[in-house]
Amino acid sequence: MFIFVKKIILKSSDFIFQDQTSHIESDSFSWIAPSNIALVKYWGKKEPQLPANPSISFTLNDCKTETTLSVVKKKDEDSNFSIDVFVDGKLNEEFKPKIYKFFERIVLYQPFLKDYHFKIETQNTFPHSSGIASSASGMAALAMCLMSLEQELNPKMTSDYFYKKASFLARLGSGSACRSIESEIVVWGKNKTIKGSSDLFGIPFPFKIHPKFINYQDTILLVDKGVKQVSSSVGHSLMENHPFAVQRFKQAHQNLEKITECLTTGNLDDFISVVESEALTLHAMMMTSQPYFILMKPNTLQIIEKVWEFRKQTNLPICFTLDAGANVHLLYPEFVKHEVKQFIESELVMFCENNSYICDSIGMGAYQLSI
């Protein structure tokens, strides 16, 4: 006997808020959301913030943003947003335009945003000027808070819908933020071999992860703590008329399929080769766009050379990946933590600004704080 299981594919319109059953005058919600590091990179997008290719990332544990959202119902109806933003306890005007833009993008899905005054208090665990982007963790934490508010208005919402919509909203704030919501490894972007994958939101990696990847380590070597030379929005737009774009998007699908295999079988050699190739391809795309950029610094290359030398000499499974900047993420299994720590201290730390680096590892995603 065949059992017919209907495949439910969610569309953007499924995320439009409808069933308000409760009313609230004031409340407050606090969430912590982590950053993430892509193994297969998202680089290139279509409106509205949809990826040109699928990506997959490790969720981090220690680099995160804590956000408290306090809401008070407005006395009189008006059609404007009312928002105050506090960063590290201080009123901050700089982030306001970004938050307004985010609210404008998501108000279709949460029309009640116009009914409340919002106080957003936020802080990061990683240092301000570390060159680590806080947009992924920041937008994910805010999206979680907004979903908590929505849940108060519609308590019948399922947990599955809560997390999918949180990822959907976070994506509209900053693409990669949709990978900072739940689980250790997240896939974002439709790929035929990953069931449930979607361009609209990230999904937990749907296969059993090989034990070698449990508590995988990410040490971030801070080569350049300055502000990014190229913003990600400019970077993504450079893929629009890029001569290699079509081939790159195809390659990302193939690399996602290869890395899926590595994550389930524990093949670290192939894992390393896909991860490093992805990092260098991301930078190659920027070097071959118009205008072109070199985002690595001489010390980025020094570190890469050292990692290759160390791997050749010791046979230890350590590799690097890069974001759209000069900092280097070293990825390695927990069982080589001790040797890698010594290697960093003796051979890499001198290439970091003020000898700084951050030790992180795979985490589980966002979590709520009780107030």
- Binding residues for ligand PMV, rule: CB under 6 A, are 38, 41-43, 55, 135, 174-176, 232, 282, 323-324
Kindly state the smallest distance separating residue 228's Cβ from ligand PMV, in Å: 9
User: 128-162 burial string, b = 16+ CB within 10 Å, else e?
Assistant: eebbbbbbbbbbbbbbbbbbbbbbebeeebeeebb
Kindly state the smallest distance separating residue 324's Cβ from ligand PMV, in Å: 4
Local structure of residue 240 (DSSP, 8 states): T
Nearest to ligand PMV of 70, 176 (CB atom)? 176
Nearest to ligand PMV of 45, 212 (CB atom)? 45
Q: What angle do CA 204, 210, 216 make, to 5 degrees?
A: 80
Kindly state the smallest distance separating residue 119's Cβ from ligand PMV, in Å: 25
Kindly state the smallest distance separating residue 140's Cβ from ligand PMV, in Å: 11
> In terms of DSSP H, where are the helices of the chain?
96-106, 135-153, 159-173, 232-237, 245-265, 268-287, 298-314, 337-343
Dihedral angle sign, alpha carbons of residues 345, 210, 253, 136:
negative
CA 257 to chain centre: 20
Nearest to ligand PMV of 71, 303 (CB atom)? 303
Kindly state the smallest distance separating residue 322's Cβ from ligand PMV, in Å: 8
Nearest to ligand PMV of 67, 232 (CB atom)? 232
Kindly state the smallest distance separating residue 165's Cβ from ligand PMV, in Å: 18
Query: Cα separation of 344 and 339, whole Å?
Result: 9
Kindly state the smallest distance separating residue 99's Cβ from ligand PMV, in Å: 16
**How many Cα atoms occupy the beta-carbon half-sphere of 89 within 13 Å?**
0
- CB 181 within 8 Å of CB 163: yes
Nearest to ligand PMV of 30, 224 (CB atom)? 224
CA 259 to chain centre: 18
Three-state SS at 104: helix
Nearest to ligand PMV of 323, 353 (CB atom)? 323
Nearest to ligand PMV of 70, 183 (CB atom)? 183
